[in-house]
Amino acid sequence: MFGVYIHFPYCRKRCPFCDFAVHARERIPHDRYERAVLRELELRAPLFDGREAMSVYFGGGTPGLWRPDCVKRVLSEIRSVFAKVKPISEITLEANPDSLSAEQLDGFRDAGVDRLSLGVESLDARHLRTLGRLHGSDEPRAVVREARRAGFERLSLDLMFGLPGQTMADLDRDLDGMLALEPDHLSIYNLTIEERTPFGAMRREGTLKLPDSGLQADMYQRVMQRLAEGGFEHYEISSFARPGRRAVHNTLYWTGGEYLGLGSSAHSHRRMGKTGERFSTVRSVDDYFAKIPDAGGVALDADPAIAHYEKLDEAALEREAVWLGLRLLGGITRAEHRARYGEDPVDRHAAEIARLAAEGLVAITPERLKLTARGVLFADEVGARFL
């Protein structure tokens, strides 16, 4: 089983914190992009021949801007190729609250999308303006109502914290509002400043005033506390779900699963026995349009539409499995890891894990290796030890 990711690169505008492969365009070539994605699916499908897809994820960019009839045709073709025996268990589409009408929601639901991921980010009008978001504080509430009416039983909301000028009281109000919307999943991110963004330039100039690191850590702990009290399971560093509502597709990434990426800048990961490969398409959508018709028929590392190709040996796959597995709050099951990679992770990385344990960042039991409560606050630093 594997997942299919479709990258839709278009947005109405680029937010000042965004370093993703997105293109802000007034006019979106809906049909042309659909044809290109379907062409790529035709070319890449043999890599996963005979396999059944367990999830499909439309990410971006803002896939909620794509015409629902295009989404429907792409999904229909994916089903015909990769869901011949078992139905796809989860089909997610990302959208922004400003870009969804009732008609679009009905169209996406009719297309087969069964899980909606809304980029709310905040419910505070001041912070939304700072983040460059196009929606106000009331639109998420209206969109959630319409999504429920359209039949979306699975709803995930994104929230950011550590925003410029944000206080703990601001965060509490955002959490109050998000919980009142009754989602079954929340993805909550500490604002990350990327160098190539307007926020990155502001930080270099000294004009971006962020909460200090201590307050950001306190904010994350408040998030964990409030969501636990609200009945959510904290199952991955940034992910919280009601029981039985964990993200199927994203869990593939954290557990070393395989996925086929379609669209400009999309990444794929494929295992081949004890080794694997990772590759991604060109970042520019214009390059994607130009190169995808002539792709295929050659090795991936010589394909004109492939921007990056990497062979992964067994050691690289094992290191990634430790890094990604420690992002899960349940950690790594030592016996399963040993069965898959031939050695217990605690033994293979004995020196590094001993140091992490001495620093109070990981806990070791006979069954598991996982982050401690303190380690959760330093998850990125722990992961970097294995990369």
**Tens-digit pLDDT profile for residues 151-166:** 999 999 999 999 999 9
Compute how many other C-beta atoms are within 10 angstroms of the C-beta atom of residue 138: 11
Q: Does pLDDT of 387 surpass 90?
A: no
Say what the pTM is: 0.96
Among 69, 131, 62, which Cα is nearest to 95's?
62
Q: What is the pLDDT of residues 328-351, one digit of tens each?
A: 999 999 999 999 999 999 999 999
Q: Does pLDDT of 97 surpass 90?
A: yes
Q: Residue 26: pLDDT band by 50, 70, 90 thresholds?
A: confident
Q: Does pLDDT of 131 surpass 90?
A: yes
* Helix-then-strand count for the chain, H and E: 16, 17
Q: Residue 297: pLDDT band by 50, 70, 90 thresholds?
A: confident
Q: Does pLDDT of 128 surpass 90?
A: yes
Instruction: State the average pLDDT over residues 136-140.
Output: 94
For residue 108, the model assigns a pLDDT of 98
Instruction: State the average pLDDT over residues 116-125.
Output: 97
Identify whether the C-beta of residue 336 lies closer than 8 Å to the C-beta of residue 374. Answer: no
Return the DSSP state at 259: E
For residue 267, the model assigns a pLDDT of 97
Please give the domain boundaries of the chain with CATH numbers for all domains: 2-253 (3.20.20.70), 315-384 (1.10.10.920)
What does each C-alpha distance from 362 to 20, 304, 333, 357, 368 come to in angstroms? 31, 43, 14, 5, 10
213-228 in b/e form (b: 16+ CB < 10 A) is: eebbeebbeebbebbe
For residue 298, the model assigns a pLDDT of 85
What does each C-alpha distance from 300 to 27, 33, 268, 281, 311 come to in angstroms? 32, 22, 11, 10, 11
Instruction: State the average pLDDT over residues 212-218.
Output: 96
